[in-house]
Structure 1
């Protein structure tokens, strides 16, 4: 199977559509599932018995999705090629008792999720999105994509020290958004409002997973429109590229002669440690892969053989060299925007890449005609981590950490090169094809 240049700037246009449609992990999964179904994939329920049929399938669980394509010629021990990412981003999430306020202002009580750059959330017009759990046991996605909330910053006249000492924000006291006026706080106001907006009957909602999001649309930026500014690139940029790559491979001529079973695994809760039933440190991926082996008539020996030959590319955003803080980067590794995807390396296994993994990724990039760059952290700076080491350790799968270099990571609005998303997607296609 040859690998033509499948994706170009049109992929970046589509990325912005994907970002705008995915204000929460639940929306991101629903959007990815919709795109996979258009490519012929069908949803399978975890509570049902699985069969060994070929074709594209996916499991959707909360803010996570695992999708795979079984070629006609696949055996029970055929290895997998996995592209992995995460659906969650740092933000402000609604507390169990959301209705608050003081001094004539109505507020929504929020908790800090992950590690956001708090200052970037100040004085932004924010919407509210997420998942409502209903009395009948069903769920409903909700997205209030208009100016509903705002976290107002204290005027400089009342905080003169900010000039000399810098902005200091208390997560509890200073990050509670306002959404109206009134002296009386009525318990249930926010949820009643969401029931009305969703066309539900009062009292239908008994649980919720809600979060704020900026309503400003993603956009091209710069004199030559060679940059993209937008929310949640960490890490929906990768979710979008992985989804597009799997759909392209599954619908290409020769899909049924693939030497591997291509897989998409997009997890929730990476930003707070991945320890959940929908996180990379949970059982979801291993369960899906094992059940696929057994559904095709395999044994535990087949499972062991399949896993031993499996490789995963863990795709997550990384750090482009910052023109104002270049000294914070390793002096010999300066990834640039539009320089192609980055290969992430850390010898202390904060990233899972080793020399053999580098060779796999280099081969995919060469096949796709895509340049790539290397990233390591400055030795004096702590290194972040990804789902990569977790996936490698939990499943015994060869894993390689890659991604796209961006600026303003964990800001409410991040920045990347406009060509890097489609360069990443092309490399993922070549990898999945084997």
Structure 2
């Protein structure tokens, strides 16, 4: 498959996945289409695993761990893990969201993570996520919901009323200036009832049965290629669905599996990961321990397996933007379409150390993939990833890598076509290395 075809698949993946809950659903749909069957495991049931078997576990609809059981004992091979995250920064709808002001219905939002708020203005926005409701058996159930049409908007203030916007930047007061316009209000409309009726129309669930929701604001514009040679692409949620997609493609490769391969895709990375389904929770340790138990691996051999394991923490990296040279360390500029980035931080905001960096560089060279190294400016705070969290929790060697991208945390991000293919090839080499 060509690099451009890989990116088109990525864009389709993102367009089908406007919320973390939809990400997991899209992955399940892709697994169902595979020639080799994948079995969903229930955390409340006992597990019976077969060598070479393909399995996945979902926790709370938006985190997923997929694995292929190795043919060889865990104590001999360890786990080969790629970790990424399914969530992206943005806006989430509040519980009592709908309100009316000056003949307009608006929806109140809460900020999730650290989005670039100004990029949400003047976009064709809509809603996607899940609703929780009481079903016909009087039990609590959930259902995905997605509005395809442009439903919402955050209109900018005209420059005549904000004369300094081009000098000082657009600043939005988070409580009063972020509510999204939904509709022109009729006098007889009750805002909450109107919004509930919209959810009923979209979900097919009676408004009286809908008890709560997790709804994300998303941009309805589809992903696209751009550049004179279509060498770049743009979409929402590249951070970090591009890494999720690359990891999934590497895992679905049909080579013989000696060691146990794992993809762990977590929600809640953008808010610190300290939740039951985040990377700082028990999800991945629980799954790895149960894999060991199902393969009759005793506690000592499980610890031996962890000592032989390796994890790639895949999260996007900051590409050099020549309009803003002072934002970068001049000796560590990473360039779009020049290969995956090894991310290094002396204070271990990234999990990379010299040995893991050398190992990943070697896999890239074996795969014929170029690679780059990134270090943040010392006078700017450095972000972090699931890498340090998961590596510390499990006690395994890890590295933080990612493809270079522009406008991280914007509602519309950009990256390079060649890099996505490079990352998939490097990840495949990691999975395929001889034991």
When normalised by structure 2's length, the TM-score is 0.95
Q: Report deviation, 1:67.
A: 0.6
Q: Report deviation, 1:204.
A: 2.4
Tell me if 1:178 matches 2:173. no
Tell me the residue number matched to 2:20: 25
Taking the aligned partners of 2:100 and 2:191, their CA distance within structure 1 comes to 10
RMSD: 1.4
Tell me if 1:49 matches 2:52. no
- C-alpha contact 2:199 2:207 (8 A) present in aligned 1: no
Secondary structure of the corresponding residue to residue 151 of structure 2: strand
Tell me if 1:154 matches 2:149. no
- Quick one: which of 229, 232, 243 aligns to 2:234? 229
Tell me the residue number matched to 2:205: 200
- C-alpha contact 2:130 2:215 (8 A) present in aligned 1: yes
- C-alpha contact 2:70 2:261 (8 A) present in aligned 1: no
- C-alpha contact 1:280 1:387 (8 A) present in aligned 2: yes
Q: Report deviation, 1:77.
A: 5.7
User: What do the CA deviations read for 1:213-253 (whole angstroms, capped 9, x no partner)?
Assistant: 000000000111000011100000000001111011xx22x
- C-alpha contact 1:29 1:65 (8 A) present in aligned 2: yes
Q: Report deviation, 1:353.
A: 0.1
- C-alpha contact 1:21 1:27 (8 A) present in aligned 2: yes
Tell me the residue number matched to 1:424: 423
Give 1:314-353 correspondences, 5 Å limit.
314-353=313-352
Tell me if 1:210 matches 2:215. yes
Tell me if 1:139 matches 2:139. no
User: What do the CA deviations read for 1:157-213 (whole angstroms, capped 9, x no partner)?
Assistant: 122232443322111111110010115543232232112112222322212100110
User: CA separation of 1:173/1:132 partners in 2, compared to 1, >3 Å: closer, same or farther?
Assistant: same
- C-alpha contact 2:235 2:412 (8 A) present in aligned 1: yes
Secondary structure of the corresponding residue to residue 192 of structure 1: helix
User: CA separation of 1:77/1:301 partners in 2, compared to 1, >3 Å: closer, same or farther?
Assistant: farther
Tell me the residue number matched to 1:220: 225
- C-alpha contact 2:292 2:302 (8 A) present in aligned 1: yes
Taking the aligned partners of 2:207 and 2:272, their CA distance within structure 1 comes to 36
Taking the aligned partners of 1:274 and 1:185, their CA distance within structure 2 comes to 37
Taking the aligned partners of 1:329 and 1:186, their CA distance within structure 2 comes to 47
Q: Report deviation, 1:71.
A: 2.6
Secondary structure of the corresponding residue to residue 203 of structure 1: helix
- C-alpha contact 1:76 1:293 (8 A) present in aligned 2: no
Taking the aligned partners of 1:133 and 1:94, their CA distance within structure 2 comes to 14
- C-alpha contact 1:106 1:185 (8 A) present in aligned 2: no
User: CA separation of 1:75/1:393 partners in 2, compared to 1, >3 Å: closer, same or farther?
Assistant: closer
Secondary structure of the corresponding residue to residue 57 of structure 1: strand
Gaps of 5+ in 2: none
Taking the aligned partners of 2:75 and 2:106, their CA distance within structure 1 comes to 55
- C-alpha contact 2:406 2:413 (8 A) present in aligned 1: yes
Taking the aligned partners of 1:243 and 1:380, their CA distance within structure 2 comes to 36
Taking the aligned partners of 2:210 and 2:145, their CA distance within structure 1 comes to 12
Tell me the residue number matched to 1:377: 376
Taking the aligned partners of 1:287 and 1:164, their CA distance within structure 2 comes to 51
- C-alpha contact 2:350 2:384 (8 A) present in aligned 1: yes
Q: Report deviation, 1:320.
A: 0.4
Taking the aligned partners of 1:185 and 1:384, their CA distance within structure 2 comes to 43
Tell me the residue number matched to 1:299: 298
User: What do the CA deviations read for 1:294-335 (whole angstroms, capped 9, x no partner)?
Assistant: 111111112101111110000000100011111211111111
Q: Report deviation, 1:76.
A: 5.8
- Quick one: which of 172, 191, 206 aligns to 1:169? 172
Taking the aligned partners of 1:338 and 1:165, their CA distance within structure 2 comes to 32
Tell me the residue number matched to 1:34: 29
Secondary structure of the corresponding residue to residue 81 of structure 2: strand
User: What do the CA deviations read for 1:344-383 (whole angstroms, capped 9, x no partner)?
Assistant: 0001000000011012211211121111100110111111
Give 1:94-133 correspondences, 5 Å limit.
94-133=93-132
Length, aligned pairs only:
423
Taking the aligned partners of 2:348 and 2:72, their CA distance within structure 1 comes to 36
- C-alpha contact 1:195 1:204 (8 A) present in aligned 2: no
Secondary structure of the corresponding residue to residue 211 of structure 1: strand
Tell me the residue number matched to 2:10: 15
Taking the aligned partners of 1:118 and 1:413, their CA distance within structure 2 comes to 12
